[in-house]
Chain A
């Protein structure tokens, strides 16, 4: 437990942001879980005596925070970088209206794509929307600059983006915590001339927006710092790059001035112009896109300043910042001979991708689905399975090989619409419960409205499991009833562990889609195994056992079912790792020789926890 009264603590960057928000007086916090942003809202829920919610999606999260901020509250909304695309619509307009209290939008970017589909640089949103972007460089600055972000937003009455990255949010380091402040709530402000964006009002807002932008350009000057080492060289280091630059110049004993840039959008023009004017050579070090570089070049051209300037010609545009990238840039910029010696990674190491957990219902769902495809006389290589974002994206891996696409939250149903229109093949959209409510629902509306034949297979494990079992709307709202309400005529439920009946239901649904040329929805209902484990005594679980007399070493359980708890012995027979097995029983019907059984008694409420 982190006591807010004790100051210096080792915490995660995301926790530092959350405590910074509490210190600034945040009263409303919203978000949709997504790595690397999740712990911000989690921390606020755990330690803040404020309103914090998981919203249906990032757009709703944004609008909720914005609704609070236009009534005077201090609000925060947090999402991963791709989440901001979902919220881009209200984001652009929020810059036109401005806010009354404070609105801080945390965008957690993921350079190198540790757990994301792309590495877009969300500082562009700042330029695009005319919203200032504040970028920390370590956990301490993440904390302090969150406070500054609220101050700036409130002072200028404009939203502010706090842009973190994986290596800000997910590094752990010492942070001096500022004490919490009283949460700033709002009181009703009715101002339709400002907040109703009909063209007449929006045109007036556009002019106001640009006035605020001028004020913002003034305000950001003080958030940045020039470290003057009396050198003719200048390095402008944005965000996380600052720490790397400092380490490299200490290590290599290089003499250079360094400008720590915490506001990549807009750049502090006066500070940069002064610093550049006193330099002969300039190197801009920034992760990702040349956003600072473009602005600096623009500024220098306007001011008629000619100087030797380097940026993305020396600093890689691919992946996250590393010291190795800095060493490379420095070797060119300072003319140093920096050869680093390191060992090569051997080529013949078996890959180790993440896997579905022991007891995960999705493993069975994929096995059931693949068998149903064959049973319904669909040809597996002519059946497009459009996937979605969640634990079940792992279904693209062998042995399932059951995802042909997966681009963004809710994309499975949307893409299936297009697959059918272009090919005439009936597609299967696999989607999770949280993703269904996030944005799959509107694509399903489209399928019903346009009568697009597809099987929508909803894997309802009652949670947003991939990010840490956050609750999902499926706990309150029955997906089958929603589908029926939208006009889906064929809706069924299956228990994925009940293999035979699931295969039959799925196969019937596929046949129905083929005959009726309409969408059908089948919902596989079984809880996330980790969620079940949170509610039972771990010492008291049943365990699977293998009857070695019956086991033939056919390898189906470990090569085709691939539960991590089933391990091959030297003689190819199976054995159970008691430490990993949770006694879910999913493997029992999978063995064709009936060699696997369960030993021990079910804990209390076992079935309710899985199926409730």
Chain B
């Protein structure tokens, strides 16, 4: 059956739930069923957050282990925390080039390189979504940049079209970030297959 599973992870406050909303609305404009499972409550405040996005012929909200077609990290370390939704063969991993310190004393951070080292042999793309968002005029548009990049990878092919995304993204800076991120893929600037 035609369906796509996307797991988007990051830190509460990065606009992850908003990213889910934008996909769900875009799906509605394209007449495609989208189910988004969100984490609310305490996790909103600087904690790890993820959403399960299931598009197409789906009846249940959660992605099974290893069955994410795309695993997206709006923060690099959060990709690792959700790695059990990915499989080496099957999953494309997209990492925002951004590491955020947890609000705990004396924590040793993983560098982006250390994160990437743990993903050897996986299909990984790294993009600088924050910089794209700043270029688009609003740091909050990093989530829209990620959606643009996913779109250019063909994640929504046959399910949600570009026009629907433009409608769902609403704000000019979101649309701009979406488009810049698409262009980045075309120009091949992303680091692929480390």
Contacts and interface: CB of A to CB of B under 8 A. Distances in A.
B44 A354 contact: yes
| Max count, chain A CB within 10 A of own CB: residue among B34, B64, B122 | B64
B60 A323 contact: yes
Contacts of B102: 350-353, 355
A242 B46 CA distance: 34
Interface in A423-476: 466-467
B123 to A, nearest CB: 12
B101 A567 contact: yes
B116 interface: no
A567 B46 CA distance: 14
A172 B35 contact: yes
A466 B41 contact: yes
A180 interface: no
B92 to A, nearest CB: 13
Nearest to A248: B60
Contact of A466 (B42, B67, B89, B90): B42
Contact of B28 (A10, A35, A170, A340): A10
Interface residues of A, number: 64
Contacts of B69: none
Contact of B40 (A35, A346, A567): A35
B43 A115 contact: yes
Contact of B64 (A173, A322, A563): A322
Contacts of B47: 352-355
Nearest to A343: B83
| Contact residues of A: prevailing secondary structure | loop
A467 B162 CA distance: 35
B64 A340 contact: yes
A170 B61 CA distance: 10
Contacts of B67: 323, 340, 342
B77 interface: yes
Given A171-B37, A354-B44, A355-B103, A342 B84 contact: yes
Contacts of A350: 77, 102, 104, 107-110
Nearest to A566: B103
| Max count, chain A CB within 10 A of own CB: residue among B20, B43, B66, B103 | B103
A533 interface: no
A343 B36 contact: no
B87 A343 contact: yes
Interface in A532-570: 555, 558-560, 562-564, 567-568
A8 interface: yes
Contacts of B166: none
B11 interface: yes
Contacts of B89: 341
A411 to B, nearest CB: 17
A221 B66 CA distance: 39
Contacts of B20: 172
A167 B103 contact: no
19 contacts: A12-B38, A35-B41, A36-B40, A138-B61, A171-B61, A172-B34, A174-B34, A242-B59, A243-B59, A246-B59, A343-B83, A351-B104, A354-B42, A394-B42, A398-B105, A466-B42, A467-B41, A558-B105, A560-B105
Interface of B: 1, 11-12, 20-21, 24-25, 27-28, 33-48, 57-67, 77-78, 80-90, 101-110, 118, 122, 139
Given A8-B28, A174-B34, A247-B60, 6 more contacts: A167-B61, A323-B63, A345-B80, A352-B11, A555-B106, A567-B101
